[in-house]
Amino acid sequence: MTATGPVFGIVAGEVSGDTLGAGLIRALRERYPTARFIGIAGPQMLAEGAETLVPMERLSVMGLVEVLGRIRELFQVRDQLIARLQEEKIDAYIGIDAPDFNLRIAAALKLAGIPTIHYVSPSVWAWRQGRVKGIRASIDLMLCLLPFEKAFYDKHDVRAVFVGHPLADSLPLQPEVAQARALLGLLPEDRCVALLPGSRRGEVASLLPLLLETAERLSAQRPDLTFLIPAINQDRRHEIEALLAAHEAAHAGESGRRALPVRLHDDSLGSGVGRLVMAAADVVVLASGTATLEAMLLKKPMVVSYRLHWLTWLIARLLVRIPFVSLPNLLAGRLVVPELLQHQATADNLARETLAWLEQPQRVQDTRRLFDDLHMQLRQDASATGAAAIAALMADLAAGRVIAPGDASEPPA
């Protein structure tokens, strides 16, 4: 550590990591006011004084084909970054998410004697658990967003700290339902079901037709329902509009049928349109993924669904080692919200489970109380807790109190 303070290598590869990195930098500066942060940063981290060696957008690659098309460039960025961070004589390296990129950098820097931290655990607890050997070899400290992640690493002799989830820190304990409804032009007495088919083109194309058929069945039994669909950008809006038009055309002329009462809300309301729609709804029907955590923190009863290609599903069944797929159920350790996956994901099943929420107010209240408890469990001031864990690691290493387990010559899987 230099006389002017520590130098941290820090790398974020996408917007969510940039948000986490900015909060962590602020918290670390409270402990190390003259610290320097250098690596790959987005606009939020740059605003906190981080230095970026390449634009963060160069790492924001999604999809196998896209990655393969830029694999040489990504390798060059990685190798240049490792060399530069060693030249800068950094005191510790913090990789934020992006495990395929960050864990390999951490492995090389640990070989050089640099302490390594990873923020946001890969889903190693869910599938390909053998990857933990490479993580143990590469990482001195894992900062976990979820409590069961720390329990997993404890079993595998990896130093880990549960820091809580930043989303739980940022969302109020009591959701602002009235405000959300007002922004969407809804009345307090309106009964609404949110349909969230996902944010990617493939997800929307796969799941939205099923959700619209579900809405068709719900509307036949509950004509008072309004269906809310968020579109995170204009591309998704156009895709959703086309699927809505196709659905209406397929049902045109059916006796006694009226058009589905769907309200489509897009990013003109801001980047948080999905959150706004969920906050306004009575029940949320959504794809499995991070959105289930957000719905839980908004205290919303939900029905979780997903469909995969049959071969992908078969492989996943062989590799996945968890009893549930949605975070509310994983956090609760039991089935709290219905999960209708693959062949169980039918319009009849989804409609039945949605109606059950609408017709069982006591169940809704009990679930909301559980979600309150889980919200508090995750509300740990993640940035400050993570900074404290990093400071403790560095103090232990400086005092010779820690010998990290594993062989750093073993690369991460």
Q: 307, 317, 375: which is closest to 344 by C-alpha?
A: 307
What pLDDT was estimated at residue 65?
Answer: 37
Tens of pLDDT, residues 313-371: 455 555 566 677 899 999 999 999 999 987 899 999 999 999 999 999 999 999 999 99
Judge contact between 228 and 195, C-beta under 8 A.
yes
* Pick from 73, 84, 136, 131: nearest CA to 112: 84
* Res 127: pLDDT: 58
Strands in 283-287's sheet, in edge-to-edge order, are 262-265, 225-230, 191-196, 283-287, 302-306, 339-341
Distance CA 243, CA 88 (A): 53
* CA distances for 79 relative to 17, 74, 84, 299, 353, angstroms: 21, 9, 9, 45, 51
**Superfamily assignment of 170-377 in CATH?**
Glycogen Phosphorylase B; (3.40.50.2000)
Q: Tokens representing 149?
A: 């992640």
Pair of tokens at residue 368? 């909301």
Decide: helix, strand or coil at residue 367.
Answer: helix
Task: Give the separation between CA 410 and CA 110, rounded to whole angstroms.
Answer: 11
Torsion of CA 345, 346, 351, 356, to 10 degrees: -50
Spatial distance between the Cα atoms of 103 and 82, rounded to a whole number of angstroms:
12
- SS3 (DSSP) at 91: coil
**Residue-level length of the chain:** 413
**Using CA atoms, how far apart are residues 382 and 316, in angstroms rounded to an integer?**
31
Question: Which tokens belong to 276?
Answer: 């706004």
The CATH class of 7-164+380-398 is alpha beta
Which parts of the chain register pLDDT below 70?
Answer: 1-3, 58, 60-71, 125-130, 269-271, 307-322, 402-413
Pairing assessment for the beta strands 7-12 and 36-40 based on DSSP bridges: parallel
* CB distance 213 to 248 below 8 Å: no
Whether the CB-CB separation of 298 and 286 falls below 8 Å is answered with no
**Closest C-alpha to 166, from 232, 265, 97:** 97
263 forms beta bridges with 228
| CA terminus-to-terminus distance, the chain | 31
Q: List 230's β-bridge partners, or say none.
A: 265
Closest CA to 267 of 227, 234, 229: 234
Q: Which residue ranges does the chain devote to CATH 3.40.50.2000?
A: 7-164+380-398, 170-377
pLDDT of residue 309: 56
User: pTM of the predicted model, to two decimals?
Assistant: 0.86
CA–CA distance, 94 with 37 (Å, rounded to integer): 10
What is the C-alpha to C-alpha distance for residues 219 and 209, in angstroms, rounded to an integer?
Answer: 15
The residue behind tokens 């003109």 is 268
Dihedral sign for Cα 278, 146, 323, 99, please: positive
